[in-house]
Amino acid sequence: MSIDGNKWIYFELVKDTPKTQVWDVINKASEEPLARISWYYSWRQYVISPEPQTIYNDGCLETIINFMKRLNKDHKIKGG
């Protein structure tokens, strides 16, 4: 499953477990992964792990932040 992010990126579901998910942030032009979004148990929230040598503009960062906020909200609603 994939979710459109903005003009430059989209999110691709990599792993779906009953409690958490793992998503890749993909560059639309090159189809290369830019980062991974996953659950960080110590902080009890989703975090981003960018690939080395990747850069982001404010629009991409805003899109990623909004996506992570939605994942965190959904996790809380599920009782995680």
Give residue-wise pLDDT tens across range 37-56: 999 999 999 999 999 999 99
pTM over 0.85, yes/no: yes
Residue 31 vs residues 19, 23, 24, 41, 64: alpha-carbon distances, Å: 28, 14, 11, 29, 17
Domains of the chain, by residue range, sit at 2-77
pLDDT of residue 14: 98
Q: What angle do CA 41, 31, 39 make, to 5 degrees?
A: 5
Taking 50 as the pLDDT cut, the residues of the chain under it are none
In contact, 16 and 29? CB cutoff 8 Å: no
